[in-house]
């Protein structure tokens, strides 16, 4: 009787789940999605980012990835790293006002990057692939949302485009998000050659002068000592040379 009741309860649960999925479109949340790594960077700096793409299909491979750069946070410089077996295409758009890059105004920025796999390089089920990029200067914004499209070999397209909602739950198909922190005064910078930081301090000068004086005095003392010893040796030599003849005259002859 107990086994019969447990089987009936399990069957009822499975039936309800199937009906709910068919009628209301309930689906389990994705276990993995396209992300950007690292997920944090500093405003105004350059970053090496990698878009990580897992394959969630059991039967199809990922053959294409499309990354859309946010329109509200343009980046003046974007470059890609070659990925073996994948070709990359870059699309650009005009921006107004221009973006400053090393003091120069840039009116055209990258809007979309597309990677397409060769037949043997597609992301197989149970594996993932990373697509590195370098970009900057990163905008003065709280975050950058990169909407992504993932295309499979069976024609299915997964749209990772849902933006995060503050205080809300993670959306079903979240877009990759890069959080940007404001630069601080503690950020290390190289001091220019003509800056006060590059000049020697007063303490260093005084220490150097004191060391030079000490070495000079020591050299003077050593020189005087050498003169004294040399004088004593000279006097002794003259004394020995002057008394030798007198000694020979006083010696009795045979």
Which CATH number belongs to the domain containing residue 49 in this structure?
2.60.40.2230
110-124, 135-149, 154-168, 217-231: range with lowest mean pLDDT: 217-231
pLDDT at 165: 87
201 is a domain residue: no
Report the percent of the chain where pLDDT is more than 90.
54
Which residue has better confidence, 241 or 87?
87
pLDDT score for 119:
85
Mean pLDDT, rounded, for 221-229: 55
pLDDT tens for 107-136 read 999 999 999 999 899 999 999 999 999 999
Mean pLDDT of the residues in the chain: 76
Domain membership of residue 193 (yes or no) is no
Do 136 and 43 have their domain in common?
yes
Q: 213 and 111, same structural domain?
A: no
Report if residue 104 sits inside a domain: yes
Tokens of 205: 């000068």
Same domain, residue pair 105 and 226: no
Q: Given pLDDT bands bounded at 50, 70 and 90, which one contains residue 198? A: very low
In a shared domain, residues 118 and 224: no
Q: How far apart are CA 114 and CA 155, in angstroms?
A: 16
Per residue in 18-31, pLDDT (tens digit) is 433 333 333 333 45
**Residue 108 within any structural domain of the chain:** yes
The answer to whether residues 100 and 217 belong to one domain is: no
In a domain, 56, yes or no: yes
Q: Are residues 156 and 51 in the same domain?
A: yes
Q: How confident is the model at residue 32 (pLDDT cuts 50, 70, 90)?
A: confident
pLDDT greater at residue 5 or residue 161: 161
Domain match, 131 and 171 both: yes
Query: Is the same domain home to 89 and 169?
Result: yes
- Residues 32 and 149 both lie in one domain: yes
Residue 183 has a CB neighbour count (10 Å cut-off) of: 13
Domain range for 236 is 206-240
| pLDDT given at position 14 | 43
Q: Confirm whether pTM is higher than 0.85.
A: no
**What is the total count of domains within the chain?**
2
Distances (CA, A) of 162 to 12, 31, 62, 65, 158: 34, 16, 20, 16, 11
Are 83 and 135 in a shared domain?
yes
Specify if 7 maps to a domain. Answer: no
Mean pLDDT, residues 89-98 taken together: 96
Look at 31 and 16; give whichever has higher pLDDT.
Answer: 31
Q: How confident is the model at residue 183 (pLDDT cuts 50, 70, 90)?
A: confident
- Residue 19 inside a domain? The answer is no
- Burial label, 253 (beta-carbon count in 10 A; 0-12, 13-18, 19+): exposed
Instruction: Tell me the average pLDDT across 9-36.
Output: 50
Identify the residue whose tokens are 């922190």.
Answer: 181
User: Is there a domain that residue 140 lies in?
Assistant: yes
Q: Which pLDDT score is estimated for 90?
A: 98
Residues 162, 229 within the same domain:
no
Do residue 36 and residue 112 come from a single domain?
A: yes
Tell me the residue length of the chain: 254
């Amino acid at each position: 009787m107990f086994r019969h009741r447990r089987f009936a309860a399990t069957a009822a649960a499975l039936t309800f789940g199937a009906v709910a999925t068919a009628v209301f479109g309930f689906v389990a949340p994705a276990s993995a999605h396209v992300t950007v790594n690292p997920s944090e960077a500093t405003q105004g700096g350059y970053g090496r980012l990698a878009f990580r793409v897992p394959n969630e299909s059991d039967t199809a491979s990922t053959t294409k990835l499309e990354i859309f750069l946010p329109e509200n946070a343009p980046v003046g410089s974007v470059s890609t790293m070659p990925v073996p077996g994948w070709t990359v295409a870059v699309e650009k758009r005009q921006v107004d006002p221009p973006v400053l890059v090393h003091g120069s105004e840039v009116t055209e920025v990258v809007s979309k990057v597309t990677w397409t796999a060769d037949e043997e390089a597609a992301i197989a089920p149970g594996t993932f692939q990373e697509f590195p990029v370098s970009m900057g200067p990163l905008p003065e914004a709280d975050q950058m949302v990169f909407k992504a499209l993932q295309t499979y070999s069976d024609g299915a397209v997964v749209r990772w485009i849902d933006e995060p909602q503050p205080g809300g739950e993670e959306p079903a198909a979240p877009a990759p998000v890069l959080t940007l922190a404001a630069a601080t005064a503690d950020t290390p910078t190289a001091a220019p050659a003509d800056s006060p930081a590059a000049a020697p301090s007063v303490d260093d000068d005084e220490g150097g002068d004191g060391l030079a004086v000490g070495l000079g005095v020591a050299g003077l003392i050593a020189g005087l000592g050498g003169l004294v010893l040399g004088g004593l040796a000279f006097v002794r030599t003259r004394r020995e040379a002057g008394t030798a003849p007198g000694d020979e005259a006083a010696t009795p002859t045979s």
